Structure 1
Amino acid sequence: MSPPEGLWAAMDDYRISDNMNDLLLALSRGPVADPPWREFLRLLGGALGADFVTLILRAPRPGDAGLVINSVVLSPSVFDAYNSDFFALDPFVNLPTGEVFTVEEFMAAEDYYSSDYYRQYVAPTGIRHLMGADLGDSQGNSARLRFARLAEHGNFCQAERDLCRTLLPHIQQTLRLQARIARVESERSLFAAAMDRMAMAAFILDRNARIRHSNRAAERLLAERPWLSVDDGQLRLSHRPDQRAFRECLDDVMSAHLRGEPSFIKALRLEGEQAPGVGMLLRPLPLVDAPDGSRNPSVAIFVSDPYQPREAPADLLMTLFGFTRAEANLSLLLANGATLDEACEQLHISRNTGKSHLSAVFSKTGVARQTRLVQLILRSVAQIGD
């Protein structure tokens, strides 16, 4: 059966060259490539006939070298010179968003070529011709693209500027996705760090019950507690009855994940001699709006180890409660289960001095019992301080 008339002609409208296919694939990989963006910038430079391509994701400023990525680094000294000093002299900035300009189109050529920036920084590298584009959107995702050619290669032509302009929306969209991923990762790191400070171990498992992520508290737990281990990527409890109960809970929670019931929760109290009083909470993660896969996050497991010391910077306790440093150090030891005598021994102070510090702590916090003091400290924001 022959194809409908005009089908091949219509398909030609969507056909792209192998070079453009490679360029677009490199763009989609840009944020997660190793190193990020380098391959795309190299291919983009080849498409536009540029000797050097620079992507500025965060512009340098005093005290901040910014985030500047080059397709080719002329030399570390040239790279560092721009990020530390010459960025402040660069006149080829603040271009109208989404447009492509050569230097001569953006400003008077004589002003640029007589500038200290060109004479002191650009000219010694052999670069003569520049083309640039600034990107930005309503969400605040901005970046700069700069293309450079050596003097002997001539200036950028209209066709090259048009191709660059065609690619800008695709680059902007990839930058938007990168920013979104970075924000999610930043938030995840923040909450993971807060759980670390509270000595709460967290494991994220995939659909095969294999560990895909664990926080630092979880890693410490695995390193220091013989009752918990990893076997073929899966958590395992040394006490057999605990392991059977854990697997039953995990199977139930995994089934809830597949049913799309993220509010389903299972709790488990360990009974083994090596882990008395340890609690585990298992809950399914929501089904992600992404291609189905066995490695997608499926179950979160939280482990509270009562024997893991809680951390809180003494400086924060001093700020929050008006403690002296000696009072803050004593309070931290008491919050981690030490008796007054044990705390005094660790701090190398007499019991009378310890009682004096504790009396001052009670006065400043408004509590009258050591148990209430412990609760106050463990529930304060000091625990999530760095």
Structure 2
Amino acid sequence: MREYLISAPMNELLLALSRGPLADPPWQAFLRLLGEALDADYVTLILRAPREGDSGLVINSVVLSPDAVNAYNESYFALDPFVNLPPGEVFTVDAFMPPGEYYQSAYFRQYVEPTGIRHIMGADLGDELGNTARLRFARVAGRTNFAAPERELARCLLPHIQQTIRLHARIARVESERTLFAAAVDRMALGAFILDRRARIRHSNSAGERLLAEGRWLTQHEGQLRLVHRSDQQAFRECLDDVMQAHLRGEPGLVKALRLDSGSSPGPGLLMRPLPLVAAPDGSRNPSVAVFVSDPEYQREAPVDVLMTLFGLTRAEATLSLLLAGGATLDEACVRLHISRNTGKSHLSAIFSKTGVTRQTRLVQLILSSVAPMGD
């Protein structure tokens, strides 16, 4: 049977790599260990190359000086000739380009040489998804250049580094999308809660936090989402049990809706749906149920500038439209805007003409169903 042995230093290096993107500070512990493995004085990971107007994302194992880092990120990156290496291969400067050309370049003489660095080895990474990175290793003057053993070790580590960058980029994209969609739900004045199998709150958006803070309809007890009124809580638990069972059966299509009792006026509406099953060691803590809460008393808003762009309104017309969409009558809106009713009617006529609607109720529907609230 073949033996798979990993030395203690290599084990430490690979563990640091797996923790690299989420470490504090990110990547630096791994880069320091990588520098020790390759006997490099400095290691640099460039996750986003600098360009005009963008200093990029450059991480150094050791910071020579803030001035040196800023100088490269702001100007010298444009002079660097040791770029665009064939992906997945490891080169020293001497093997990549004529040594005389490099050591006589303005980049080396004005930027590299004053730092005391003499020898540089590098590799570029890239995959079909567009995840790219650059690794650069440096030794100071007076030391020998990087040799075949260092180049081979670096080459063997490249696929592991590429995969870690790829996974982290995927996580970052998912998180970015989640943040964007969560913000969109907030703009719609929807409270959103993610509950586990014990009805404990695992996540809530800002609109949900506002509803909890108000305490009129929702509260939490020992981390569990509760409804304030007993009759609402009983109906909520019955619906929640049905949705939870659908989650356990792997039926994410089930939806349960509930209107809260608020007496004469319409109360908030709740919608519950199961989340897909997720494999994890502790299934009880898995996200299980999504709960959305819509409060009819909460006014959605949209920025004036977005309404002006969407419908060609003047600022005065857009401001009036927002007040009407928020539930104000024309007379109430005129008072708040300190304009006469005749001026308000003139604005409203112009709004109707520009939006193509003829009734105030239709105007409110048009604004609230447009993308305008998403721009708040």
Aligned-pair CA distance for 1:290: 5.0
Q: Would you say the 8 A contact 1:60–1:84 is kept in 2?
A: yes
Which residue in the other structure is 1:50 paired with? 40
Matched letter for residue 331 of structure 1: S
| TM-score in terms of structure 1 length | 0.93
1:343-372 deviation digits (Å, cap 9, x = unpaired): 222222222221211111112222221111
Q: Could you tell me how far apart the structure 2 residues matched to 1:224 and 1:129 are?
A: 63
Say whether 1:128 aligns with 2:81. Answer: no
Which residue in the other structure is 2:180 paired with? 190
Q: Would you say the 8 A contact 1:227–1:275 is kept in 2?
A: no
Q: Could you tell me how far apart the structure 1 residues matched to 2:115 and 2:233 are?
A: 66
Q: Would you say the 8 A contact 1:26–1:39 is kept in 2?
A: yes
Query: Secondary structure of 1:283's partner?
Result: strand
Which residue in the other structure is 1:361 paired with? 351
Unaligned runs of 5+ in 1: 1-6
Say whether 1:216 aligns with 2:232. Answer: no
| TM-score in terms of structure 2 length | 0.95
Query: Greater CA deviation, 146-155 or 56-65?
Result: 146-155
Aligned-pair CA distance for 1:16: 0.5
After superposition, where does 1:228-239 map in structure 2 within 5 Å? 228-239=218-229
Query: Secondary structure of 1:155's partner?
Result: coil
After superposition, where does 1:298-337 map in structure 2 within 5 Å? 298-337=288-327
Matched letter for residue 125 of structure 1: T
Query: Greater CA deviation, 66-75 or 91-100?
Result: 66-75
Aligned-pair CA distance for 1:169: 0.7
- Work out which of the residue numbers 222, 246, 254 in structure 2 matches 1:264: 254
Which residue in the other structure is 1:351 paired with? 341
Aligned-pair CA distance for 1:274: 11
1:283-338 deviation digits (Å, cap 9, x = unpaired): 11111255553332211111111122212121111111111111111111111111
1:94-123 deviation digits (Å, cap 9, x = unpaired): 001000011111111121112111112112
Structure 1 vs Structure 2 CA RMSD: 1.8
1:261-298 deviation digits (Å, cap 9, x = unpaired): 10011111111459942001111111125555333221
Q: Could you tell me how far apart the structure 2 residues matched to 1:176 and 1:377 are?
A: 41
Q: Against the structure 1 CA distance between its residues 45 and 316, is the aligned structure 2 distance closer, same or farther, given a 3 Å change threshold?
A: same
Q: Against the structure 1 CA distance between its residues 116 and 208, is the aligned structure 2 distance closer, same or farther, given a 3 Å change threshold?
A: farther
How many residues were matched structurally? 376
Say whether 1:165 aligns with 2:148. Answer: no
Q: Would you say the 8 A contact 2:91–2:122 is kept in 1?
A: yes
Q: Could you tell me how far apart the structure 2 residues matched to 1:259 and 1:311 are?
A: 39
Q: Against the structure 1 CA distance between its residues 78 and 295, is the aligned structure 2 distance closer, same or farther, given a 3 Å change threshold?
A: farther
Query: Secondary structure of 2:357's partner?
Result: coil
Q: Could you tell me how far apart the structure 1 residues matched to 2:143 and 2:211 are?
A: 61
Q: Could you tell me how far apart the structure 2 residues matched to 1:275 and 1:135 are?
A: 61
Q: Against the structure 1 CA distance between its residues 138 and 20, is the aligned structure 2 distance closer, same or farther, given a 3 Å change threshold?
A: same
1:137-187 deviation digits (Å, cap 9, x = unpaired): 112111101111222332212111100000111111111111211221122
Which residue in the other structure is 1:141 paired with? 131
Q: Against the structure 1 CA distance between its residues 344 and 140, is the aligned structure 2 distance closer, same or farther, given a 3 Å change threshold?
A: same
Which residue in the other structure is 2:72 paired with? 82
Unaligned runs of 5+ in 2: none
Q: Would you say the 8 A contact 2:215–2:228 is kept in 1?
A: no
